[in-house]
Structure formats: C-alpha cells, structure tokens
Amino acid sequence: MNRKVLLGLITCLILTFFSWHYYCELDEILIYENQQYSIADPLTRENEYSLILDSNLNIINEPGEKNQEKVNLHALSAALIDGDSGRVLYEKDGYSIKAMASTTKIMTCIIALENSKPDEIVTVSKYASTMPDVQLGIREGEQYYMLDMLYALMLESHNDVAVAIAEHIGGTVEGFAAIMNEKARELGCENTNFVTPNGLDAQGHHTTAVEIAKIGSYAIKNPDFITITNAANWSFKELTKNRSFMVSNKDKFLYMYDGAIGVKTGFTNKAGYCFVGAVRRNDATYVSSVLGSGWPPNKNLKWKDTSNLMDYGVKNFSKKDIFYPHTFGPIYVEDGKERVVGLDYWAEIPVLISDNDYIKICYYTPKQLEAPVDKNTIIGKAIYYVNDEIIKEVPILTTETVEKIDLDFCIDKVISLWLNEIN
C-alpha cells in the first residue's frame, strides 16, 4: 500500500470519527430539546456537587398551621427526640446551654465501652479517691475490673469511679475530656463541652437539652450500655484486698413507665435535678432530657416531667417509612456509546411522624454527564426534610454503564450507516 493511499485512509478514518461524534451530539440535542435537557451549559466534573442543577420539589403533605400541644413541664430546659433518626419532636428552651450534672456519665460510660475491655484492670489514683459527694469509697492503689467500675458508675453514679475510669483511658482527666469532646463533635453536639467525667460543676462544663438527649440516643444503641443501665443491682470485689461491694439502680423511671430502658439521673447545686430517659414502644424509641427540673426538696419532679414528655411522644407520633419513589428522566452522556443513562435511588427512612408534620423532598441531578460512566455511580442526591429539618440525604445512582466513544465504535457505526444506505 503506497503512502498516498495510507494517508487517505487515515484521513478518512479521522473525518469519520469527528463526523459521527458531531452526528451523535446533534441528534441528542434534537431529541432532548423539548424535554428541557440542555447541554449548552455543561457541569465541570469537579463542580458536579457544588453547582448542582435541576431541583425538582415534591411535597407529600402540604404544610398547614402548626398547633403543637404544650407539655406541662417544671424543667428549665427539656427535649424529646426520635431515638432512631435524632429528629427533635418537642423542646422547651432545648438549645440553651445548661449544666448537666451526672448525665455526663452517659458519655463517660459509652467512651469506656468503646475504648476498653470489661476485664481491663483499673488502678485507683490518689486524686480519684478524693472525689466528693456520691462515692463508692475506692482507695489509692486498689484495683478493679472495668466492668465493675461501669456498673458502679451508672447504677449509683459514683464520682470517684468516674475519675478512675477517665484516668485509666485518657491518662488524665483532661485527656479523657478531650476524647469526650471529640465524640460530642462526632455526634453533632456543637454546644456541648465536657471538663469532668462525673459532671461535678466546673467552668465550661455544659450541654443543651437537645444535645444530651442525642448523646443518650447514641449510647442506648450499644447493647452493653443497656445491659449495665438496666441492671437492678451488681456485686463485685476489689482485686487486691478482696473488699466486697454491691450497687443498686437508682433510676426509678425504669419501674414507673411502660417500655422504659433508662437512662441516667443527675444533680448538682448549679444544674438542679436532671434526667435523660428512654422508652421503646411500638417499634419506636423516644429519648427525653430534663435539665433544671427542680431543686431540693423537689427531687421527684424529674420523673413527672419525663413521663409527660413520653406521654406526648407516644400519643402524637408513630413510626413511618417516609421514602417516596420517584421516576427520573434519563441524563445525557457526552461522548457516550449510549446517548443517555438512567437514574434510580432507594432507601428506608423510618421516622417518627405526627399528623401535623409535613415532608419535603428535593431531588438534585446534573444536566449531563461525561463518558465513561460506571453503573451505580453517585451523580446526585435526594434530600428529605420534615418541617424544614434535614432528615436524610439519599444518593441518586446510575442504572447502567456507558462507555466512551472510540475510533472502533465510530468506524462500526459509519459502516453500518453505509450498509443501510446501500440496502
């Protein structure tokens, strides 16, 4: 084959490639112009999510006038949340910063469960042995199993035990507080700050009713936490001197309310009486908190406040899956062997919902994609709201793979067109 023929063949192939590429683009524009799929303003790949296009709104329940029933409460701050989704169902001054007393120990316990083993040996420091108020009476140099310490921590709220646990895991109280605060940030609790592991009043040691409830809802997902906090009593011994101890559960709510599963009481002069409670009923989990629910001698107001919150939740809310099916139009794929790619999404979104709530869903998808595109690639999202609060973001995925146009593909297509014309 001489050079002129070879050069002509190469030129023909190049022209074939570009002419087929142009034909595909032109045909695609004509097909989708009436369906408002524009490719005149393509997204760059690095900005696919910051420049998200086409927001299609779908409201399942039209928002109406909100007539939220008022709950009779003595607490200065209170909250009731969905223990599964974290959605706030009710709050009274629930976002104000308050002292939290021994509800602090919820975080102390869950940190210990996640960062130690039950049979680890905790050695008591002199500092831990000097903690005031509620004490187990541990002594410097004594040794205890971690599991025994956790029962003493949660059933009778011993402050000396809390410090011994903190020093064992964090090295110092300050080191342990840093771990507690890191976990709080992880749970989205931006207005919570831990200084002590036991909740004794300290400058900068605070939370909000909503956030301590969210910490409680996280903790009760751990089955070991539930086992400890629901125990009626626990007996154990010190490991070197064999001293015997027995602790009993001071959480009366466990026996007062049907379905109660905890969680933790608290009191200091600054915080007043506090309690984080949890109830499981009808496949739903309700978590409440009351801060500043009276001062001595009104120590039983916290139980009444908690019962009122739970009554409100059980009466007004039920668990529903709010996922809503949606059919997406195809997305144009630039330089793709297939002209479009399909989209789909799916999720389970169980949420506690009342008759007054409304659900809003926003779908975000790009106007076009660039080949190659793999099947099950995340290219957008559906955001679910309940009363304008984001509940969940669900990824929108491609339903098939689209390969990029290459020279062999173009040659095959052009040959196919020529053959069709000849026939």
Q: What is the pLDDT of residue 50?
A: 32
pLDDT at 1 over 70: no
Between 18 and 168, residue with greater pLDDT: 168
Q: Is 0.85 surpassed by the pTM of this model?
A: no
Tell me the average pLDDT across 327-355: 92
Across residues 342-368, what is the average pLDDT? 91
**pLDDT for position 301:** 97
CATH code that applies to domain 77-313:
3.40.710.10
pLDDT on residue 282: 87
Domain boundaries, the chain: 3-60+324-422, 77-313
Q: How many residues does the chain have?
A: 423
The helix/strand/coil state of 321 is strand
Predicted confidence (pLDDT) per residue in 168-222, tens digit: 999 999 999 999 999 999 999 999 999 999 999 999 999 999 999 999 999 999 9
pLDDT digits (tens, 9 = 90+) for 370-398: 999 999 999 999 999 998 889 999 999 99
30-44, 145-159, 161-175: lowest mean pLDDT where?
30-44
Helix (H) or strand (E) holding 382: strand 378-386
What token pair was written down for 346? 């799916």
> How does residue 19 score in pLDDT terms, banded at 50, 70 and 90?
very low
Q: Kindly state the tokens that stand for 402.
A: 């689209």
pLDDT at 2: 53
Q: For residue 13, what pLDDT band results from cuts at 50, 70 and 90?
A: low
Whole-number Å distance between alpha carbons of 404 and 401: 10
Residues annotated as part of the active site: 102, 105, 157
- CA 395 to chain centroid, in Å, comes to 16
Q: Let me know: does 228 contact 112? Beta carbons within 8 Å.
A: no
**Is the per-residue pLDDT at 267 higher than 70?**
yes
What's the pLDDT score for residue 413? 66
Q: Is 401 exposed, middle or buried (0-12, 13-18, 19+ CB in 10 A)?
A: middle
Q: Which pLDDT score is estimated for 171? A: 97
Q: Which stretch of 176-180, 237-241, 268-272, 404-408 has the lowest confidence by average pLDDT?
A: 404-408
pLDDT above 90 (res 27):
no
Interval 120-135 mean pLDDT: 95
Pairing of strands 331-334, 368-370: parallel
Can you give the pLDDT at residue 64?
Answer: 52
> Is residue 179 a contact partner of residue 170, using CB atoms and an 8 Å limit?
yes
* Higher pLDDT pick, 351 / 407: 351
Backbone angles phi, psi at 150, to 5 degrees: -70, -35
Q: How confident is the model at residue 411, as a pLDDT?
A: 74
User: From its phi and psi, is residue 247 left (phi > 0), alpha (psi between -120 and 50) or beta?
Assistant: beta
Report the mean per-residue pLDDT for the chain.
Answer: 86
CA-CA distance, 131 to 245, in Å (whole number)? 18
3-60+324-422: CATH topology is: Peptidoglycan synthesis regulatory factor (PBP3), Domain 2 (2.60.410)
- pLDDT grade, residue 66 (50/70/90)? low
Neighbours of 363 (CB within 10 A): 20
Of the pLDDT bands very low, low, confident and very high (cuts 50, 70, 90), residue 89 is very high
Q: At 24, give phi and psi (nearest 5°).
A: -60, -45
> Whose structure tokens read 């964090």?
170
Asked if 172 contacts 188 with a C-beta cutoff of 8 angstroms, the reply is: no
Residue 133's pLDDT band (boundaries 50, 70, 90)? confident
User: What pLDDT does 137 receive?
Assistant: 95
Q: What does the alpha-carbon distance between residue 406 and residue 404 come to, in Å, rounded to a whole number?
A: 6
Specify the range with the lowest mean pLDDT, choosing from 42-46, 150-154, 351-355.
42-46
